Amino acid sequence: VWENCLHFIKDNIQPQAFKTWFEPIKSVKLTDKALSIQVPSKFFYEWLEEHYVKLLKVALTRELGENAKLVYVIRMENTYGNKQPFTESIPSSNRANMQPQELDVPVKHKNPELKNPFVIPGIRNIKIESQLNPNYSFDNFLEGDSNRLARSAGMAVANKPGGTSFNPLLIFGGVGLGKTHLAHAIGVEIKDKYPEKTVLYISAEKFTQQYIESVKKNTRNDFIHFYQLIDVLIIDDVQFFSGKSGTQDVFFHVFNHLHQNGKQVILTSDKAPVDMQDIEQRLLSRFKWGLSAELQNPDYETRVSILKNRLYRDGVEMPEEIIDCVARNIKSNVRELEGAIISLIAQSSFNKKEVTLELANQIVEKFVKNTKREVSIDYIQKVISDYFQMDVETLQSKTRKRHIVQARQLAMFFAKKYTKASLASIGSQIGKRDHATVLHACKTVDNLAETDKQFRKYIDDLNQKFSQ
Ligand code: ADP
Ligand code: MG
């Protein structure tokens, strides 16, 4: 009977939907006029009820006549889960080799409307709170050279979620450069344009926690199904997945499902994909399917416009020269820029002092001091060349002389250690090498540090210089 129903259903829906929602179903019992079917999770059942109840009714009525009944059986949760290796597709029926009477539990109907599955329930949207912050919009994400690509890619995605080649869209860049803001802005814009779409913003950390929780409670499948229902999934700070293979695995499956179904995925990370460590290759290769767009340090003009916008929104006026002073001195990131201006406003209103250039200078100075002065790659090259008594050009040159190669490798090693620059950017600044060369240099230094006493001393000496 079920086989026949399936044939009928298959002819009436999209192949992908059939594969997702009907192939995993097993028929378990047929009594008189009631067919029992087994579904993998409660979520699954709710989804069927919401989207396919009419179709199911028609299919079953054709087979069993007007009084046909359908009974759902949800596979008991502790019968699947972590022991089972996870396959690429959504759980399929052949994984359920179990004795129904032992393992199956009837659906507990929370909603009395659902007791008789053929009472077609009103549209029950599964409400998923999007977790978006409406204050992070495109309007107040100021455009500049440093963010133009990422911002316009974000706009394109917001206009046509899932319908561009930017899928996934990966936004990467250092702290405080606007990744979280932009990620929310895309979500907010999508919600605005397509209110019916299910959008979810979640940090990679929270996603990981939820996943671990689901494994503990044996609800891993529900976890996966939940995420597969989303139209636009935004995961912030995916570098957090590094080294967490279980989470990466589950994300991989969720990602594939969403991608196959034309759903949009937006990710942010503090590193470019090539620089991500302990992330499985198959995930990294998925990241490359779409677009990786970098947020760079804002240039002076962008800093000025961000400051002006901020002041405007707060209804505060401030002389140009003060804005200029803040913008000129605080270069590291937007968060600090905002921090400085906020503290300037606070100081002036608290002490009822006018904001003078002097006060601005004081505050800026404090900010610059507090943010640990980052050692720059230029500085590292200078110190190392001095230490080995060569000049920077020699250090950067193409020569294969051993002591020069070592000095160069040390420079790369320390650049990786003391700066936030990517491997690619370190390579390009130290004699135009590529990221693989830098990675190799870092490994070589690590090895030599363990095996070569003299080399160990170089590292210790240099460490002292840089950590001062
Ligand atoms: P990240 O997630 O990259 O660490 P955030 O998104 O938290 O950075 O941004 C830090 C702060 O800077 C936020 O208050 C954000 O609103 C602001 N910001 C970043 N970029 C911009 C921009 N282009 N225009 C306006 N504000 C920005
Ligand atoms: Mg962030």
Digit-coded pLDDT (tens) for 105-163: 334 344 433 333 333 333 334 467 899 999 999 999 999 999 999 999 999 999 999 99
Nearest alpha carbon to residue 169 among 89, 246, 273, 277:
273
Residue 275: inside a domain: yes
- Which residue CA neighbors atom 26 of ligand 1 most closely? 141
Q: Are 295 and 150 in contact (CB under 8 A)?
A: yes
Q: State whether the beta carbon of 185 lies less than 6 angstroms from ligand 1.
A: no
How far is it, in rounded angstroms, from Cα 206 to Cα 213? 10
The pTM assigned to this predicted structure is 0.60
Residues 215 and 89 in one domain: no
Is 121 part of a structural domain of the chain?
no
CATH of the domain at 305: 1.10.8.60
Q: Is the CB of 142 under 6 A from ligand 1?
A: yes
Q: Are 157 and 268 part of one and the same domain? A: yes
pLDDT tens sequence across 66-103:
878 888 776 643 333 332 322 222 222 333 333 232 23
Residue 93 in any domain: the answer is: yes
pLDDT of residue 82: 31
- Indicate the number of domains in the chain: 4
The answer to whether 179 is annotated as binding is yes
Secondary structure letter of residue 117 according to DSSP: T
Task: Kindly state the average pLDDT of the residues 258-265.
Answer: 96
Q: Would 431 be classed as within a structural domain?
A: yes
pLDDT mean over 422-438: 92
Measured in Å, residue 150 CA sits from the centre of ligand 1 at 13
Same domain, 182 and 320: no
What residues make up the domain containing 64? Answer: 2-114
Dihedral (Cα; 104, 109, 115, 121), 10-degree rounding: -120
Question: What mean pLDDT is reported for the chain?
Answer: 83
Q: How far is the CA of 305 from the centre of ligand 2 (A)?
A: 21
Contacts of 367-376 with C-beta under 8 Å, sequence gap 24+, read 367/329, 367/330, 367/336, 367/339, 367/340, 367/343, 368/329, 368/330, 371/332, 371/336, 374/332, 374/418, 374/419, 374/420, 375/414, 375/418, 375/419, 375/466, 376/419
181 lines ligand 1 (CB under 6 A): yes
Atom of ligand 1 nearest to the CA of 298: 23
